[in-house]
Each structure stands twice: as structure tokens, then as C-alpha cells.
Structure 1
Amino acid sequence: MVDGPVRTHRPGLLDGLDPEQRAAAVAPRGPVCVLAGAGTGKTRTITHRIAHLVGAGHVAAGQVLAVTFTTRAAGEMRTRLRALGVEGAQALTFHAAARRQLRYFWPRVIGDRPWDLLEGKLRLVGQAANRAGLGTEPELLRDLASEIEWAKASLVSPEDYPAVAARAQRDSPAAPPQVAEVYRAYEKLKNSAQVLDFDDLLLHTTAILEEHGEVAREFRDRYRCFIVDEYQDVTPLQQRLLDAWLGGRDDLTVVGDANQTIYSFGGASPRPLLEFTRRFPEATVVRLERDYRSTPQVVELANKVIGAARNRPAGSRLRLLGQRPPGPEPRFAEFEDEPTEAAAVAARIRALLDSGVAASGIAILYRVNAQSEVYEQALTEAGVPYLVRGGERFFDRREIRQAMASLRTAAADPPPTELVTAVRSVLSRVGLTEQPPPGGTAKERWDALLSLVEVAEELAATVEGADLPRYVAELEQRAAAQHPPTVEGVTLASLHAAKGLEWDAVFLVGLAEGTVPILHADGDGEAIEEERRLFYVGVTRAKEHLWLSWSLSRHPGGKRHRRRSRFLYGLLPEHHPAARAPRGQPSRGAAKPRCRICGGPVLDTMEIKLGRCRRCPSNVDEELLDRLKEWRGTRAKELKVPPFVVFTDATLIAIAEQQPADRGGLVAISGIGPNKASRFGDDVLAVVNSERD
């Protein structure tokens, strides 16, 4: 307990929480376990619990340390705490918390200057691999680096690695003794250079707290209350650091969902979550199962997905209960090849955008990053803006760096105007106009700058008297935590990268055997169950619209040897054509586009684009095609983009064949959406009409 009288929490603080959320928020200090299903408001529950503990005087805000696994989640937690009037509570990732503590205690324990942090380990891993007689191909080095990370997260030394890897049946990138040799050499090289990697932040902080009693006492006097989010993803190393923080105390709240354990390849395990009440028999346990994110239709599908899992432990048997009004049924679609699947997804997204769904509210999710290319191409052809999650970081973009520099300068002598007005005034000097540009890269830059205004609006609404210096400090904190604001554009992301996020519409694509589940997840054991949980995570990202699709071959005209994912069996409605189709065969009964010449079906992306089947002769005007390509080359140079971003060759051929007379005829060509028609339509029609003249 903190010194002084116990205060009553802010009136209305707990209003709006459901009975289970409220029970978790007001649970007494001590061990609390919150089993929180997807979409059940766990972040809301966590932050209200912290606010209640602080407001009621059970703990001071500065004595709270909340940890989670991503900088975005930590940033979201800080934003919500601020809105609840809690200032001073720490909300960080495990690594960020350990880095602060290590930097603070290093001079006292080590004595010399703190070692620098190694941003990337591939160079040292390459040197270590070379010494061990292994190759230095980038893919091998990445696999070796990942295996070293797993070993350190699992508290496995180089000496113990071969035996532990054999017991764990690790799919090592090389023979275990060779991996151990690379691991040993990497550690020596790192120590000689006096640098730390991210795992060392946890290891060294743990060692300092375990081996230096005075340091441990000082830390434990400072922090009294601990909250761990996404507890199902904790590694043995993170658990050991948490135990060092606690020092035998039990003022710990953990929140997690074993059904969303998807990082076991990196050493994560749901065991600490599932065995929490064994460790703390007196713990308060609360189950959150009311899903406020997704429609009942999406929730029902999610329950079917995870309900088919084998050997589910008791602590993971959460059944979500949809709380939203009914929505559309999930859509299932089978295609003959990946480009056709991508074109159909892009067309559906265009329809959603036209119906009013924001681009930032739509995501395409896939199992491996290599799948994104065909969707990037399809979205480009459809004129749909997109962002690849894991690409260029928001705060590293040129226009954002320029904006930040201008804002810092203005904050040194802030104008006596309201915050949002001041921010708009500054950003107008670096490209934020009153009206957005028509599209392309200029529109992307404008959207990025506008998102900075939205941060100002959010801050003004939650912090009384917020001014430009306070706003710039908020941006600096977000940049350090890589917690970017929302930018308009369809999100392309892997299923792993989608964890913790949500969208109005989600497209789960490439759901074929060998991809979902991934090919190397052999047999029917835990590897397959983790793939099922990964699929479940993808399904539960959708609020309203959910599309699930797969293709039978990779390339147009390729052998149709694929079959849909085993996870889809039992999910498709009985009337769906694919539900009755033989394995590896295209479904029947689905409507297909028709050839504009003979009326027969068109089957692949090129035929759809041209509006005719391959059997029918081309009537392309070669001179017009040459003129169109010349125009495209000039336009691409002006925009400083590759020519295909303007129009692909297939689109130009279709234009040269069909020779549209007006904007309507142009938009009727597959791949030319309203956006591209608006940007390039007049130019294209001028080229076509000049040919007619």
C-alpha cells in the first residue's frame, strides 16, 4: 500500500465495463489472471484496472510497470491511460523496459560506459558462420540468427544447444553441433566488440537483479505492481526476468489467450498462463468471452475454427459470444490461379471502397510475405492505395521527417493559437493543402501529413491545455516506440504481423494446403495446431466483412494440383460449390466472365483483362499500342515510378483492342478503376481519339 489515505476512484471510471471486465478491473491487489478471448476488450480492461488501482490509492502511478510485446500495443496502452487521467505509469515492451533498467544500473554494476546495442546481427553471424565452415548465404544467416534468438530466449547455452535441439526436435538450419559452434563464435565476437543484442538486454538485466541484492531492492522499492499483456507469448527468458522483477512478490496481473499462441518457433509458450493458478492458488481468475469486435457471423466461424483444435487445455476453452449486430456471412471463393484470385480480391476491395469502407479499414492477410507481390500488382492495377506492413517505417518517410523538423522549430516559439490550428499551419508549409491531390504518391504524402493532424486532434481531446511543445513530445515518443498514426491505404500483412490489429474487412488469401498450414508443419501434432491458431488469429481480425479464398495453381494455365486448406473443411456452407468439389478440382457452378467475341468463358487474368478468350483472334491496333506505350513511358518518368504502375502491358493491349470512346468504356476494362480513370483517363482517351482522327 502507498502512504496516505485511500482515495475513491474517479466517479464513472468503471461505467461501460461489462460484468467480467469490471470484475477484473476491481480485483484486489495480488495475483490476477484474465483469460481474454479475441475482441473482448482486454486493453480496455487492463487500463481500467490500472486506473482503478491508482485512483483508489492502492498503488502510485509511478509504481506500475505494464509490459507487452509490441511497441504499438505499449503505445496504445499509454494513450488509453492518459485518457483515463493516469500519468506516470510505465507501459513498455519487455525489451524497452529492460533497456531502461540496464542503462540506469550499468555504471554501478559494470563501471564502464554502457555497451552499444547491436541493431542487426547478420554481419556477426556471418563472421561466426565463416569460422565454423558454413556458408554465408543471406537465407542461411537469417535462419542461424533466428536459431540463436530461439536458444537465448529459451535459456539454452551454446554448450547445451545440441542436446536441447535434439529433444525439442528443432528443424535446425545446420547440424546442431555446427549451429552451436556458430552460436559460440557469435557470442565471442559480440563480447569482443562490446555490443549487446536485444536478447542480451533481458539476460543482463535479469543477471543484475539476481546477483546484486542492493540493485534488486532499489528496483523493487520503485515498482510494486506488474501487468503483463499477451502472457501466452512469454518466453522462458522473459518469464525469468519477470520473476526477477517480482522477487517473490505476487502483485501481478496477467492477461492472455492460449488460443492465440503463435510464436512457439521463437520460444514462446502458453504454459505460464495455463499454469498460473497452480503457481498462485489464491489467484483471481476472470474469463472475458464477450466479443465486441466482430459480428456474430464472424464469431461463429472463429469458434468453429478453434473448436476443431485437438488436445485443448482447460485454460484455452474460451467460446466467444458475439455482441455486435448481425452482419454479412463470410465469403468463400476458389480460383484457378493466384493472379485471378488477386484480381477478384482487388475488385471486391474496390467495391467496398465505393460503398464507403475506408481503405485503412481493409486488410489482405497471407501466410508468407512472398505472397504479397501478386496482390500489390492487382491493387495497383485497380487504383487502390495500399501499405505493406513491415515496409518503410512511418517516421522514416521523407515527408514525415520534414514535418517533424518544422514542428520542432515551431514548438520552440509556439504561436498563441489552438493546437490543431497551429499544427495545420505548420504542415501547410510542407505540403498539407486544404484539398487532397487526385492520387498517386502525392496523395500518399498528403494522407501521411493529415494523419499528424489527427494525432493533434486526439491529443487536444484527451489532454487539457495541450500545446505544440506537448504535441511534439507526443510525436517524439511515438517515433521512439514506432507507434505510427493510421494512414489511408489497404494493409497487406502476414498473419503473424496482423496479431493485435483489427479491420472492418479482412481478406484471408492463399488458403491452400502447403501454405495454410505451411508445408513444413508435418503430421498432426503441435505444429499443425499452431497453424490452426494462426488461422484463427486471422479470422478474428475481421469486424464485419470476411473473405476466405484459395487457388488451385500458382500461374495461369498451370497444373491445378492444389487443394484448399484442411482448416476449411466443415466451414463452407453446404450449398457452396467448393464444398462439393473433388479435391484439387475447380469448383463448378460459379459464374465466370464471358468472351466479348464468342461468348465463351474467360478463365485467367489475361483473358479477363482483354475481355476475350485466347482462342479468339486479337484485333489490337499495333500503332495505337505503340503510341500508348510511348505516352506511358513519358508519364512514368514525370511521376518517377515504374511504367507498370501507370498501366501494365496487358491493360494497354486491352485499350488498344477495345479502343474505348469515353470514360465509361475505359472503366469497363478490367484493372482500370475510377482512380486511374480520373488520373489518366483524359490522356488515354486523347491518344485513342487521335488514332481515330
Structure 2
Amino acid sequence: MQRPQLQHKGSLLEFMRNFLSDLNEPQQRAVAATEGPVLVLAGAGSGKTRVITQRIAHLIASDKAAPRQILAVTFTNKAADEMRARVAGLVGPAAAGEIVIATFHAYCLRVLRRDIERLGYRKNFTIYTESDARALLRRVTDEMGGRGDRFSPALFHAAISLRKNAGETPDSLRKKPLRTATEEKYETRLGDVYKRYQSALRAANSLDFDDLLLHTLDLWRRHPEALAAARNQFRYIMVDEYQDTNKLQYDLLALLASEHRNLCVVGDDDQSIYGWRGAQTRNILDFEKDYPEAQIITLEQNYRSTATILKAANAVIQHNTARRSKQLWSALGKGRALDWFVCADEDAEAREAAKWLRHVMRRTGATYGDFTVLYRSNIQSRPFELAFRHAGIPYIVIGGQDFFERAEVKDVISYLKAIANPRDEAALLRIVNMPRRGIGDALLHQAHDLCRSEKCSIGAALSTLLERGATHGRGAEGIRAFLGLLQTYRRRFKNTGASLRKLAQELIIAIDYPGEIDRMSKNREQAMARMENIEAVLLALEQYEKKTEHPSLSGFLDQTHLNSDAMTESKQRNTGNSARLMTIHSAKGLEFPFVFVVGVEDGLLPHEQSLKEGNLEEERRLFYVALTRGRRHVALFEALSRTRNGRERLCKTSRFMAEIPETLVNKHVRAAPEMMAAKRRLP
């Protein structure tokens, strides 16, 4: 059906009739329920994005809100882009351009770019990547006498991130009641590192990704006028994937929606799989406690999967106790029973998956790109890569190295960050000897000492050492050339008429980075691949300039950090005619014609660590998510033995398999009878 566009409102009644007829009855109620708090329980594949976009169109068409008074919050840039495109198709690009459709982090960045000076930061702050943050934590812990610390920078970063997403500051961490001496020792150490880390970030006029949310909450709590401005801007707030919100996001939404209370949250508690990074299922389970007047609307019709797949998924998830009741159903037909393969070991499992993939292709006419292998842990991919390669099956592993974490890309981005923010220590330290300038470690240690004693940036410290004559020869020449280069390009990038791409290209040539790539590459192919990545950065600059009314270097860097998931999302969408190998977590929100769920064994799915920590219900939700990714067919694979830590061990079938009715499964035993007998003897 051709949906009308709302550039003109004269045909409002006709528009309402058209789009409502395209929705089922619960979807229509969700679109029409505009006032007060609303919880839309949207089961897997139930058309939640359509509901959100139609609801936005309805608010505008019925004159309840101007486009600029609507905020729609998503969890990924892909979801935001898709929602923006769909809304533009309904209300026209002009109106859609005024609606704020953004991730939590993108929205909070807007707030902080406007108001962060109230918190003592400069507006030209930069955002640290995860690797930048870990490098800073390594320096902080070393300075605190932490060499040999059993907690790595990666562990400290993960722990601090969890605390931030729970809304905890270094000071609030110290006030927590603790049960044991070991806990007290760990939390005290963590609190000290957290405090020094935040001080170092502030000195660098930088924020890490979690700070975007934490500082926005701090801003609103300390400056009511900033909160009032945000509240007054938005009369209607919608949140997608509400089951994935953490304490910090919950608090931000509670403050933002507290005046108008027109908060519509859409989510599915059965798909809450991010507890390990701070997501709180209680946010969706206890919605009525927070908003007693809330309307609850449940979407149960699935437009993705066959009835058999949904019956299996429903049967599994009903064993969870902490959930809202819902029963997915489909009008797409019964479909084939699930196929369950019991194999001898992980190599046999992978070979069987390759054989079954070929069999299904012959039977259905499917292509390689129709198949996705889902596993609990990345380490499970190796046997499938080997088996698919041997069978001549083209494949791609989703979740490889992030584009922005590649050395050559980080070098160029670090130059741009150091130009945009002279206090960005991580960026300066990365590029100070890239290419080599003769600035040695001893000189950098002197600069660090000066930073601490005079509370200045690393760039200012290098300049001071130069002025005081504390360095001579090649080191002095290197510092002078380095600081002069940054100062020159700082002035040039501030010229509003200059092309960002052209300036960046000139900078790359000025430092002879192509020559540096030749020196650090093993062969011509590797050098060419690295130069292609540099060209991709330049192309991104060019595209940013074309799409942005007032482009700036800091604006480009903001977009780069907020869109760091775009490369992964692009891979997921554009795999060509190749099978996909990916974790179940990576598959969240996606769908595929044929899904192979592998490693359905206790210890893998559910995961051994989760069983120890009592997180069985989240593991069951993860299995449910895996099942509901399939459109036409789902196959399940298990191995009777696996090699772990160099030892072969017998495995038990996942307890979740016993929750699927036998009538929904075709079981294929591919292991020897003696192995099956050994398995039956397991406790």
C-alpha cells in the first residue's frame, strides 16, 4: 500500500484511515495511545518499528506536537537511521529533519556540546575510544604504583563502565556498604583508580563514552535550568528497546519525562540479554510501579517466523519466572520442524553444519547468504571457519576488528583529535612520534612530570620544556616541528571556508604518512589495504561535509565516535552471497531465512559462568533470541565432547533442549553408539 505523506494536513482523516488499516488491532491501539505513560510490549518480529514510526506520524498529523517537540531514542545508529528514513516516508523529509531521532549517547552529546561549560569543561572536548581509555587507565595505575596489579586496564575499564552505567561516581562508590574485607580492598582500589582516571580525563578535556550520559545526568541534577530547557523542548518521548536500558538511562528518562509524562517505551523483557553490561530488566517489569497510570499494550503477532519456530520459542521462554506473559503467533504457516543434530565433537559439528547447509540449498534453492550460524562465544567460530573453507562455502565472520581500531585509522583520527582539542593527551601521545621525530621516552617522562607538577596538558609541557632549554638536538627539533605542525593546522581547520577533506589530505602528505605506511607494512598488498583505509577516512570527511550545513572538525569527530558501530552494521547488511558466523548477542535485532544455533550444551548455552552466577534466566532469553532470528527454518547442533584447555571433555545437552516439545523437533544422531552411551552416564 502506498502510504500518504504528511507535507499537507488537509487530508488528515484519509491519512488516519489509510495507516490504521495497515496495522493490526493492538498496533492501532499503540499508535493511538498518545497521552501519558505507555508501555508497548513488542514480541520478537511483531512490527515495533512500524508502530513507533506510525505513532510519530500520528502525533504530527493530529496536531498534538510539532516535529521538534518529539524525541525518539534508539540503541544503535542503524536503528536511528532506519527510523528516520521510515518517518521521512510518512511525514516528508522536512518534518522528519526536525524530529530528534538519536541514540542515548548522541542525544546526550548534543546536550553537553551546548552546556558542558557549566561543569567546568571546554566545549571542544573530545571523546575517548575504548582503547584510549584503557591506555589512560594503564598510565594511571602505573603512576599509582600498580605495576603487577592483578587487575588489568581492561578489567578496570569494564568495572568503571559498569559503575558509571549504574550512575555511580568515585565518591558514591566509597559510601557503598561492603560485606567482606576482600570486597572492601577491591572497591577501595577501584574507587581510587576511578577518581584518578576521571581527573586525568578532565585534565585532557575529554570524556569517555559512558561520561556522555553520566555528565548529562550530573548537569541536569546540578543545574535545574538546563533540565528545564530539555523538558520544555520535548512534549513526547519514545524509547525503543526499553528492556536494554540501564540505571543511568532510566534516571535520565525519568528526569526528562517528569513534567509532561508523555513517555512511550517499547520493548520485550524476553529479549533482555545485556545484564552483564548493566541493563536492568526491572525497568520494563516494574513500569507500572513507576507510572501507575500507564497503559500496557501487548503485540503478539509475529511477522517473521513460521508457527513451528514460534511454538518452540514460546515453550522455552515460559520457563522463566521474571517475565510478562505473552504468546507469539504467526499467520505465515506451520513450517518445517526444527532439526537437531547430535555430533561427536566440535569438528564433526562444524562438518555436519556444512553438509546440512548444502542439503538445504539443494532442497530450497536458497543462497549462501540466506544462512547464519549463531554461537554463544566467539571462540566457537574456528571449527566452522575450517569446515566451511574445506567445503568451499563462502562465509564472513561478523564482529572482526573495528574499522576505527585499525592502527592507520587511529593515527589519522588522533591527529585530527589533537588539532581539535590541544589537551587530548591520548591523541598527542599516539602521534608525537608518528612518524618518528626523535622525541624519546625520557623526554616524554619529563613532560609527564611537568604535567603533574604544573597541572598542564602534555602539549603545554612539551612547549615549556622547549622554552626552558631542557632538551636539545633532534628531540628539540622534533618537538618544535610537531607543535608547529599542530598549530598551523589548528588555524587552517578553523577557517570555515576550507574543505575538511582537502586539509586532512594535505596533513597526511605533510607528515609523509604514506611513507610511514610503506615502512610498517610487510608487503605491497598490506600497504595498499592500509592506504584504502586512509582513503575511507577522507571519504567519510567528504560525505560529512556534504550532509552537514555547518561542518566542523569537532562535528566530524563526534559523528565518528557515535557511529563507530556503523562498520559492523554495514558488514551485517552487506555480506554478499556469504554465510554469516556471529554471536547470538551480535544477531539481536536481525533476522535470517535459515539459522543454525550451535553448541547447544550446558556450559556453552547456558554458559558455564552464567550458571555459576545464577543468571540462568538471561541465558534462556539468549536462546530465545537465537530461535526467533529464524524466518523459514532453525537447525540446532550439539557436540558430545569438546576440547577445553587442552583436554577432551564429555558434554551434556543444553537443559533448554528439554523445554522444546519433541513434536517440534527432528533429531539426527551422528555420533557413535558408544559415545551416546557414555553421555547417558553423565551425572
TM-score range normalised by the length of the shorter chain? 0.5 to 0.7
Contact 2:395 2:580 in 1 (8 A): yes
Alignment partner of 2:76 out of 70, 73, 77 = 70
Q: How does 1:529-568 map to 2 (within 5 A)?
A: 529-555=617-643, 559-568=648-657
Shift of the 160–219 alpha-carbon distance from structure 1 to 2, 3 Å rule, reads closer
Alpha-carbon shift at residue 249 of structure 1 (Å): 2.3
Range moving further from structure 2, 47-56 or 77-86 = 77-86
Aligned counterpart, 1:586:
676
- Residues 563-602 of structure 1: per-residue CA shift (max 9 Å, x gap): 11111124262796679999994379xxxxxxxxxxxxxx
Q: Which amino acid aligns with 1:91?
A: I
Alpha-carbon shift at residue 319 of structure 1 (Å): 1.4
- Residues 107-139 of structure 1: per-residue CA shift (max 9 Å, x gap): 576473332101121111222333455567999
Alignment partner of 1:116 out of 115, 126, 133 = 126
CA distance in 2, matches of 1:584, 1:46: 55
Aligned counterpart, 2:416:
none
Aligned counterpart, 1:372:
381
Residue 14 of structure 1 aligns to a residue whose secondary structure is: helix
Aligned counterpart, 2:140:
128
CA distance in 2, matches of 1:109, 1:581: 64
Aligned counterpart, 1:321:
329
CA distance in 2, matches of 1:496, 1:183: 28
CA distance in 2, matches of 1:29, 1:143: 44
Q: Do structure 1's residue 55 and structure 2's residue 40 form an aligned pair?
A: no
Q: Which amino acid aligns with 2:166?
A: S
CA distance in 2, matches of 1:108, 1:519: 47
Alpha-carbon shift at residue 188 of structure 1 (Å): 2.4
Aligned counterpart, 1:391:
400
- Residues 315-374 of structure 1: per-residue CA shift (max 9 Å, x gap): x21111122112111111111111111111122223344543243332111111111122
CA distance in 2, matches of 1:82, 1:118: 33
CA distance in 1, matches of 2:579, 2:185: 39
Alpha-carbon shift at residue 20 of structure 1 (Å): 0.4
Q: Which amino acid aligns with 2:300?
A: E
Alpha-carbon shift at residue 395 of structure 1 (Å): 9.8
Contact 2:235 2:262 in 1 (8 A): yes
Q: How does 1:26-425 map to 2 (within 5 A)?
A: 26-86=32-92, 87-88=96-97, 89-107=99-117, 110=120, 112-120=122-130, 121-131=133-143, 133-134=145-146, 140-161=152-173, 164=176, 175-309=186-320, 311-313=321-323, 316-354=324-362, 355-392=364-401
Residue 492 of structure 1 aligns to a residue whose secondary structure is: strand
Range moving further from structure 2, 547-556 or 133-142 = 133-142
CA distance in 2, matches of 1:352, 1:380: 18
Range moving further from structure 2, 362-371 or 557-566 = 557-566
- Residues 117-165 of structure 1: per-residue CA shift (max 9 Å, x gap): 0112111122233345556799933222111111110122334447759
Contact 1:143 1:173 in 2 (8 A): no
Alpha-carbon shift at residue 227 of structure 1 (Å): 0.3
CA distance in 1, matches of 2:650, 2:335: 34
CA distance in 1, matches of 2:365, 2:148: 50
Contact 1:53 1:59 in 2 (8 A): yes
Shift of the 172–572 alpha-carbon distance from structure 1 to 2, 3 Å rule, reads farther
CA distance in 2, matches of 1:91, 1:16: 23
Contact 1:8 1:57 in 2 (8 A): no
- Residues 509-559 of structure 1: per-residue CA shift (max 9 Å, x gap): 111111111111235x75111111111111111111101111122259974
CA distance in 2, matches of 1:519, 1:536: 18
Alpha-carbon shift at residue 486 of structure 1 (Å): 3.1
Q: How does 1:621-632 map to 2 (within 5 A)?
A: none
In structure 2, the gaps of 5 or more residues are 1-7, 408-498, 500-524, 530-544, 679-683
Q: How does 1:659-674 map to 2 (within 5 A)?
A: none
Range moving further from structure 2, 106-115 or 79-88 = 106-115
Shift of the 486–81 alpha-carbon distance from structure 1 to 2, 3 Å rule, reads farther
Range moving further from structure 2, 378-387 or 198-207 = 378-387
CA distance in 2, matches of 1:584, 1:279: 57
CA distance in 2, matches of 1:294, 1:129: 50
Give the share of equivalent positions with the same residue, in percent. Answer: 34
CA distance in 1, matches of 2:306, 2:404: 34
CA distance in 1, matches of 2:595, 2:301: 21
CA distance in 2, matches of 1:136, 1:382: 46
CA distance in 2, matches of 1:509, 1:96: 36
CA distance in 2, matches of 1:532, 1:232: 15
Contact 1:332 1:572 in 2 (8 A): no
Alpha-carbon shift at residue 250 of structure 1 (Å): 0.4
- Residues 24-46 of structure 1: per-residue CA shift (max 9 Å, x gap): 01113221110111111111111
- Residues 95-118 of structure 1: per-residue CA shift (max 9 Å, x gap): 111112211223576473332101
Residue 102 of structure 1 aligns to a residue whose secondary structure is: helix
**Which protein, 1 or 2, shows the higher relative CO under an 8 Å CA cutoff with sep ≥ 6?**
2
CA distance in 2, matches of 1:351, 1:91: 44
Contact 2:343 2:670 in 1 (8 A): no
The RMSD of aligned alpha carbons is 4.0
CA distance in 1, matches of 2:149, 2:597: 32
Range moving further from structure 2, 255-264 or 296-305 = 255-264
Residue 129 of structure 1 aligns to a residue whose secondary structure is: helix
- Residues 48-71 of structure 1: per-residue CA shift (max 9 Å, x gap): 111111111111112211112122
Q: Which amino acid aligns with 1:39?
A: G
Shift of the 358–51 alpha-carbon distance from structure 1 to 2, 3 Å rule, reads farther
- Residues 604-638 of structure 1: per-residue CA shift (max 9 Å, x gap): xxxxxxxxxxxxxxxxxxxxxxxxxxxxxxxxxxx
Alpha-carbon shift at residue 297 of structure 1 (Å): 0.6
- Residues 228-270 of structure 1: per-residue CA shift (max 9 Å, x gap): 1111111111111112322432011001111111111211112
- Under a length normalisation based on structure 2, what TM-score does the superposition of the two structures give? 0.68
Alignment partner of 1:499 out of 588, 592, 595 = 588
Q: Do structure 1's residue 509 and structure 2's residue 598 form an aligned pair?
A: yes
Residue 662 of structure 2 aligns to a residue whose secondary structure is: coil
Alpha-carbon shift at residue 506 of structure 1 (Å): 1.0
Contact 1:563 1:585 in 2 (8 A): no
Alpha-carbon shift at residue 397 of structure 1 (Å): 11
Q: How does 1:678-693 map to 2 (within 5 A)?
A: none
Q: Which amino acid aligns with 1:130?
A: D
Alpha-carbon shift at residue 277 of structure 1 (Å): 1.8
In structure 1, the gaps of 5 or more residues are 399-411, 413-440, 446-467, 589-693
CA distance in 1, matches of 2:382, 2:184: 26
CA distance in 1, matches of 2:327, 2:626: 17
Contact 2:42 2:266 in 1 (8 A): yes
